Amino acid sequence: MKIRHCFFILVLLMPSCQSQDEIRESVYLNNRPPLISKQYLELPLGSIRPEGWLEEQLLRMKEGLTGHLDELFPSVLGSRNGWLGGDGDGWERGPYWLDGLVPLAWILDDKQLKAKAMPWIEWTLNSQTEDGYFGPVPFEEEPEREPGIQKSPRRDWWPKMVMLKVLHQYYDATGDERVIDLMTKYFRYQLKELPDTPLDNWSFWANRRGGDNLMLVYWLYNKTGDEFLLELAELIHEQTYRWTEIFLNETCYAGIDRKHLYPFNPANSYPYDQELVDKLCLKQLQSFHCVNLAQGIKEPVIYYQQDPDPKYIQAVNKAFKDIVEFHGQPQGMYGGDEALHGRVPTQGIEFCSIVELMFSLEKMIAITGDINYMDHLEKIAFNALPTQASDDFSTRQYFQQANQVMLTRHQRNFYVEDAHGQTDLCFGLVTGYPCCTCNMHQGWPKLVQHLWYATPDGGLAALMFAPNTLEAKVADNIEVSIHEETSYPFEDRVRFRISTSQTVTFPFHIRIPGWCREASISINGEQDQIVEAGSMVVLKQDWSDGDMIEVKLPMHVAFSSWDESAIAVERGPLVYALKIREDWKFVENPDRWGDFYEVRPTDPWNYALLESAIQDPENGFEFLSTSPDDSYPWSIEATPVALRTKGMRIPDWKLYNEMAGPLPHRLRHKDPINSTVEEITLIPYGCTTLRITEFPVVR
């Protein structure tokens, strides 16, 4: 067979300032001047159809909380909701739910889910007043408070940002021009009102999360070209919390007090208090609200499109480095049980933080093309995300832990534990706090949306791997279909089968993860070529119907180091944790946190790994695999992969506040361990409910 292809490799770590002449071949929306060109372009909602285990995940969401939350949480999402014109909950929770429901409905092309979403969308589109305001009708007099219902402040800028995200996705799927009209009028309203009622006028949330607002202003500018939107963008950036300066801050002082973390007083001048800014940085405990950080971290990169000063990229990269060093955990997240809380493996991770950080990374990937962001997104999505909802997606945790051995209603070392009835680790509908009940739904559907991107030169880019089929346009508006055959992340091969009605030339970008040392690519079974880890391979050739690209990503056992000399075990994109069998107990609970499940271990958990196995992982760890199929893989019973190794129980490592106690440090055989070596099994973190992820090591 004649070889028709050529290989070349690009390492894309920084955005470029391409001229619009260079990017005109793309059929998808890129930035208008003076905004810099994006490295990757988002595809319309519904272009990517999940298959295999990923489709099963979305179907479980449909049958679980995402598809039925209005029925299960009627006090908040019922007919009294302010986003349906009612006098009830009128803040973030309705838009939060829709932010996951809408992409799920259109990705699955599901009539029932669309029917649930449309009354909210129609009411919102029809709610706009002459001055441009939209959303829940403000009260003339503040109503009486009702437990569990957030009625006010209805004019707050923050929940509008979430609903704008919803409307953007709805437009993306349907092309409904009413969305463009509403956004144009609303952004003119913002330009008029923000000078007198800035983002932090009603609450500090809008100030911390202004990057979401800014993102939608740029999107509309790229659709309409209205110049006033660039003026509004500058104003929003000016009023948003100064993430760039704080991320770059090297002079951190002690003395942060609680009022600076939760300044609900509208008159609080915190965002503009330079003395206080000088005291804040990511090196300190309790310096930031965990979800604000997950959302705010993208703001410098979003604004970089209008002001391409390298400091904005440098600030975010430094932030990620500091987060890992001072708060990081093996699954890609950080200790943040409300406020940032360090690297201890029993500190909590809020579910909202996970889905919001994923979304931030998805947006930053498009702008920067940074492979490190892609690898980070992959680690969170395939480790932290699956474990925090039950297998049937009917309950969820508010916090998860890296070392998580008992899920009970009990006092723990979380920052705001007393405020949540000590239910933060229990699986329930509203345990911990209800924000995650509504916000958790965006994680998986938006990952599906961002498995693929278009490229400015008329090509396509496979940046995340999972089973799916893509329908997209390339080159001169030619339609192609690409079927991605894989059980990734549970297998190390990804196959792309191209379907096209005619031969077409376009560049095909493929991410090679930074963890993969021996990746290779072949086309139609020929010329298997080794490619560099952490690079972007670009294949440009004439593509014909039936062409197949195969990517091999060999996975090897590797280790990461954590506090107290702890070790975490990884293989490819997956973090592995101790397999601990579970005893689930349903608890009927009459108070505001509702019924929930407690989970206790039926196996011992206090194991150390052997240093000899870590020094020789090829022989110290045995990889086990079952035949991959389309069933749900994220459970202790169905996990398709595992690692078998040897461990030693540490009797002195005991429970503390019904958590895994502090890690034993630098264990040696001469220590009085009084234990024997045993065979233990590690399974993917995302398949666990109870687990040890950060292990002590016995020498």
SS3 540: strand
Comparing CA positions, the residue from 628, 616, 604, 617 lying closest to residue 576 is 617
**Minimum mean pLDDT range among 264-268, 288-292, 620-624:** 264-268
- pLDDT at residue 270 in the model: 38
Residue 372: Cβ-neighbour burial (10 angstroms; 0-12, 13-18, 19+): middle
Assign 133 a pLDDT band (cuts: 50, 70, 90).
very high
Q: Could you tell me if 694 and 682 are in contact, meaning their C-beta atoms sit under 8 angstroms apart? A: no
- pLDDT at residue 257 in the model: 41
CA dist., res. 162 & res. 185, Å (int)? 17
Please check the confidence at residue 271 and state whether its pLDDT lies above 50.
no
- pLDDT at residue 670 in the model: 53
Assign 2 a pLDDT band (cuts: 50, 70, 90).
very low
- pLDDT at residue 264 in the model: 35
Contacts of 269 (CB under 8 A, 6+ apart): none
Phi, psi of 645, deg, nearest 5? -150, -175
Mind listing the pLDDT tens digit for each residue in 479-524?
999 999 999 999 999 999 999 999 999 999 999 999 999 999 999 9
Q: What residue spans of 194-298 are helical by DSSP H?
A: 204-208, 210-224, 228-239, 243-247, 258-261, 274-277, 290-296
Please name the amino acid found at residue 408. T
**Would you state the structure tokens that stand for residue 641, as one six-digit string?**
């992969």
Comparing CA positions, the residue from 565, 570, 556, 558 lying closest to residue 695 is 565
Please compute the mean of the pLDDT values over residues 379-399 and round it to a whole number: 98
CA dist., res. 402 & res. 443, Å (int)? 19
CA dist., res. 649 & res. 608, Å (int)? 6
The beta-strand segments (E) located in 475-534 are: 478-485, 493-500, 504-512, 520-523, 526-530
CA dist., res. 323 & res. 386, Å (int)? 22
- pLDDT at residue 25 in the model: 60
CA dist., res. 10 & res. 173, Å (int)? 32
Residue 644: Cβ-neighbour burial (10 angstroms; 0-12, 13-18, 19+): middle
- pLDDT at residue 280 in the model: 79
Please check the confidence at residue 279 and state whether its pLDDT lies above 60.
yes
SS3 468: strand
Q: Could you tell me if 350 and 336 are in contact, meaning their C-beta atoms sit under 8 angstroms apart? A: yes
Assign 419 a pLDDT band (cuts: 50, 70, 90).
confident
Assign 666 a pLDDT band (cuts: 50, 70, 90).
low
Comparing CA positions, the residue from 416, 354, 339 lying closest to residue 387 is 354
Mind listing the pLDDT tens digit for each residue in 438-471?
999 999 999 999 999 999 999 999 999 999 999 9
Q: Could you tell me if 38 and 425 are in contact, meaning their C-beta atoms sit under 8 angstroms apart? A: no
Please check the confidence at residue 268 and state whether its pLDDT lies above 80.
no
- pLDDT at residue 278 in the model: 60
- pLDDT at residue 669 in the model: 54
Residue found by looking up tokens 């001047």 in the block: 33
Please check the confidence at residue 425 and state whether its pLDDT lies above 70.
yes
Please compute the mean of the pLDDT values over residues 289-295 and round it to a whole number: 97
SS3 649: strand
**Would you state the structure tokens that stand for residue 580, as one six-digit string?**
């601990």
What angle (nearest 5°) sits at the alpha carbon of residue 358, between those of residues 373 and 439?
Answer: 170
Long-range residue pairs from 248-253, CB within 8 A, at least 24 positions apart, any chain: 248/311, 248/314, 248/315, 248/318, 249/277, 249/278, 249/280, 249/281, 250/281, 251/278, 251/281, 252/279, 252/280, 252/281, 252/283, 252/284, 253/278, 253/279
- As a residue count, the chain comes to 699
Instruction: Kindly state the percentage of the chain with pLDDT values over 90.
Output: 86
Mind listing the pLDDT tens digit for each residue in 37-51?
999 999 999 999 999
Average model confidence (pLDDT) across the chain = 92
CA dist., res. 531 & res. 14, Å (int)? 20
**DSSP code for 136:** S
Please compute the mean of the pLDDT values over residues 87-94 and round it to a whole number: 97
Please check the confidence at residue 5 and state whether its pLDDT lies above 80.
no
Phi, psi of 318, deg, nearest 5? -65, -40
Q: What would the 3-class secondary structure string for 652-682 be?
A: CCCEECCEECCCCCCECCCCCCCCCEEEEEE
Mind listing the pLDDT tens digit for each residue in 590-628?
999 999 999 999 999 999 999 999 999 999 999 999 875
Mind listing the pLDDT tens digit for each residue in 669-692?
555 567 789 999 999 999 999 999
- pLDDT at residue 667 in the model: 73
Comparing CA positions, the residue from 335, 325, 400, 454 lying closest to residue 691 is 400
Mind listing the pLDDT tens digit for each residue in 172-211?
999 999 999 999 999 999 999 999 999 999 999 999 999 9
Mind listing the pLDDT tens digit for each residue in 318-377?
999 999 999 999 999 999 999 999 999 999 999 999 999 999 999 999 999 999 999 999
Contacts of 149 (CB under 8 A, 6+ apart): 75, 76, 88, 89
**Would you state the structure tokens that stand for residue 320, as one six-digit string?**
């990620």
- pLDDT at residue 253 in the model: 55
CA 280 remoteness from chain centre? 25
Please check the confidence at residue 1 and state whether its pLDDT lies above 50.
no
Instruction: Kindly state the percentage of the chain with pLDDT values over 70.
Output: 91
Assign 24 a pLDDT band (cuts: 50, 70, 90).
very low
Q: How many CB atoms lie within 10 A of CB 511?
A: 24
- pLDDT at residue 49 in the model: 98
Assign 277 a pLDDT band (cuts: 50, 70, 90).
low
Q: Could you tell me if 332 and 380 are in contact, meaning their C-beta atoms sit under 8 angstroms apart? A: yes
CA 286 remoteness from chain centre? 21
**Minimum mean pLDDT range among 303-317, 350-364, 625-639:** 625-639
Please check the confidence at residue 76 and state whether its pLDDT lies above 80.
yes
Comparing CA positions, the residue from 231, 278, 270 lying closest to residue 253 is 278
